[in-house]
Structure 1
Amino acid sequence: MSWLLSFNPWVVLVVAGLFEVMWASGVKYVGVQRPLISLGVALALAASMVGLWAATQKLPVGTAYAVWTGIGAVGAAVVGIVVYGEPATAVRAVCILLIVAGIVGLKLFSGAH
């Protein structure tokens, strides 16, 4: 997996965050009766972890972890609203925007590439 280290660590981190959204959004459907969904969730989880590992080889671990979990949290919240019909309140939207602001701030002020 050393080939992964040749990519821009921020790109790798964003892709890992998208895999984080995939497994977090699908985990509610995991079970013996749904083996393909369970396999997909497991593969997305593994891809997410590998991407986080690769990103932390070049970025500060605290920054990478915060951005990774932030992408996962925002993405899962948006999937919950759009796909699963979860509440889309103004307060929830503001909280999601605050997480996005934190992710952008970490990118801009982390001192890494």
Structure 2
Amino acid sequence: MSFERLFFSVFGFFLRLGLLVVGLMVMVFVLALSLFMLVAWGLYALIARLLGRPVQPLAFTILRQAQAQFFRRANAQSAPSGAPAGAEVIDVNSREVDSATTDRLGR
């Protein structure tokens, strides 16, 4: 067995071992974070019950309308000054473009 082959096999083993450790650390972090969120929400629910308030479920909402408005505002700001906001091209004069003898890299 040559030194190069031995080196790459040992290097590959430690690389796999390192990736396994990193993956396990990420998994433990995600589990700990989810457990923390569950405990925090349970504490919130317990306090709400003790105070006689209704318990709100833990929910993440996605406001699609707000996202759409963000992109519409960005598009309106980038529109040319002469064109109204949201203007679209509806009429185009097409023409044929002659193909060049060179390829795309200019050779």
Measured against the shorter chain, the TM-score band is 0.3 to 0.5
Higher RCO (C-alpha under 8 Å, 6+ residues apart): 1
What's the TM-score, normalizing by structure 2? 0.32
What's the TM-score, normalizing by structure 1? 0.31
Q: Which has the higher helix share?
A: 1
Look at both structures and tell me which one has the larger radius of gyration over its CA atoms.
2
